[in-house]
Amino acid sequence: MSLTAPLAFPPEQLAEVHRLQALYPDRRAALLPVLHMAQDAFGYISLEVEEYVAGLFDMTPAHVHEVVTFYTMFFQRPKGRHVVAICHNLSCHLAGAPRILTHLKERLGVEVGETTDDGRVTLLSVECLCACEHAPMMQVDDRYEFDLTPARVDRILEGLR
């Protein structure tokens, strides 16, 4: 994102925004897919991006910010090439998620919400990944990893390039 040029979608993406808005009786229903487009286009959802998207929907930036901060799929800072999200809900917690999270933080050298210095991995802790019978678990990019142990986590991390 350039600080000198105003933030904007190129014409073809702007046309897609209008197409999505026209699909719904209330065009605000297209906010989530447009936020995904914005994240893909700009890398993450900064306050500037929130303000731009709010203008596309005649919403307040505060409303867009509430949506962005509610969902874990939106990033407010640049993210790593890989996103590792450990579940901290009850089943995972009882099955050892705190131990796995501690191991991940030590192994990666970051806290939850941070990205490794090399830009390789962003670490998250999320509410639920919906596989309680295989707890503890985590999501790595678009795949799920189950029945975690520190040794299994190490093998998974070694496979991330």
* Bridge partners (DSSP) listed for residue 83: 122
Which two structure tokens, joined as six digits, stand for 110? 């970051």
Name the 3-class secondary structure at 118. Answer: coil
Q: Which alpha helices (DSSP H) does 71-131 contain, by range? A: 90-94, 97-108
DSSP string, 36-64: HHHHHHHSS--HHHHHHHHHHHT--HHHH
Which pLDDT score is estimated for 5? 60
Location of structure tokens 């986590």 = 153
Enter the CATH code of domain 82-158: 3.40.30.10
Residue type, 82: H
Of 145, 75, 83, the residue nearest 116 (C-alpha): 83
Which pLDDT score is estimated for 2? 45
Q: Which alpha helices (DSSP H) does 60-130 contain, by range? A: 61-70, 90-94, 97-108
Phi, psi values for residue 115, rounded to 5°:
-115, 140
* Bridge partners (DSSP) listed for residue 138: 86, 145
Of 150, 70, 160, 84, the residue nearest 122 (C-alpha): 84
Counts for the chain of helices (H) and strands (E), in that order: 7, 4
- Total-model pTM: 0.76
- Using 50 as the pLDDT threshold, list the residues of the chain that sit under it: 1-2
The highest-level CATH class for domain 11-70 is: mainly alpha
Residue-range domain boundaries for the chain: 11-70, 82-158
